[in-house]
Amino acid sequence: MARTITTTEMHTGGEPVRIVESGYPLIPGATILDKRRHVRAELDHLRTALMHEPRGHFDMYGVIPVEPDLPEADLAVLFMHNEGYSTMCGHAVIALGRYAVDRGLVPTAEPETRMVIQCPCGPVAVRVEVDGGKAGAVGFESVPAFSHSLDLKVNVEGYGSVSCDVAYGGAFYAVADAARFGLEVPGSPVRDLITAANALSAAVRERVELAHPDAGDLGYLYGSILTDGRDDEPVSANVCVFADSQVDRSPTGSGVTARMALGHARRQVRPGEERVFESVTGSTMTGRIVAERTVGDVPAVTVEVSGRAYYTGSASFVIEPDDPFRHGFLVR
């Protein structure tokens, strides 16, 4: 029989958020990381059906709601993209905050509604501005973020020796000034930024073995962020290339978190100070260090990231069993 999956479609800063509402099988697992392992092993054909063509595209992003296993969590979600399942996604959390208020998934209060969304990286505290019953801007405090490596020298194929940083903001990123590759953010062609970011990711993966104190599933490099080099200024632009060469249209919520952790490690930003981060679309997110923490023995910070999400529509996708492209495809 054909399977029908219904979704609500949103975007944050231009980055798509496809929220599954019905049609997915029950996802078992004692913990959210168990559920993530299950969908990766048993239901990956549904990810490719929704993320890849003809129902999606190379840079599509999606959310699968699941049952939370933390008592304080109001909602729990898995994130999916063109390659697999990420551990954190700030732009999706911003969309989910508005979605939860608008759909009545949490008790609503004005002028601010608060909730906890359980993500694979851990619980994320979310606040949504509400005026006249309408949800507006959303902010979230993610899991503790920290700097892993500063001024790491890596040999990047095609570019030579490059200095970069590595930080965790719910996922691990390599971060470097685009000028080190002879590029500009914004300004350079996106295809050139993708090539450089992918080469940097490959070099860091070869050089650095990443681990997270809380869970082994979190210890991998998600992607690379190329910046305009203005790390100590109030406004800075960047582009994030993650998964399989996927380009984030937003400033990247978990990337903003990681960059704020790097700024704190370099004493460029203090608790309470704000920074604005701009994406390749010109959309912005605001980052603010809320508190200083530790993760194991590693100095860390809690960062609040704020932005806005918008609806683009709804969909009812049909997957027919005799369709040769039922599980999706990519042409690049």
Instruction: Give the catalytic positions in this structure.
Output: 89
For tokens 């959303």, the residue is 138
Per-residue tokens: 317: 């996708």
Per-residue tokens: 312: 């683009």
Cβ contact 43:320 at 8 Å: no
Q: Residue 169: which of 121, 207, 204 has the closest Cα?
A: 121
Residue 302's region, left for phi above 0, alpha for psi from -120 to 50, else beta, is beta
Q: What angle do CA 7, 120, 281 make, to 5 degrees?
A: 60
Per-residue tokens: 251: 């400033």
Tell me whether residue 315 is exposed, middle or buried, using C-beta atoms within 10 angstroms of its C-beta: 0 to 12, 13 to 18, 19 or more.
middle
Other beta carbons within 10 angstroms of residue 229's beta carbon come to: 17
DSSP letter for each residue of 143-184:
S-BEEEEEEEEEEETTTEEEEEEEEESSSEEEEEEGGGGT--
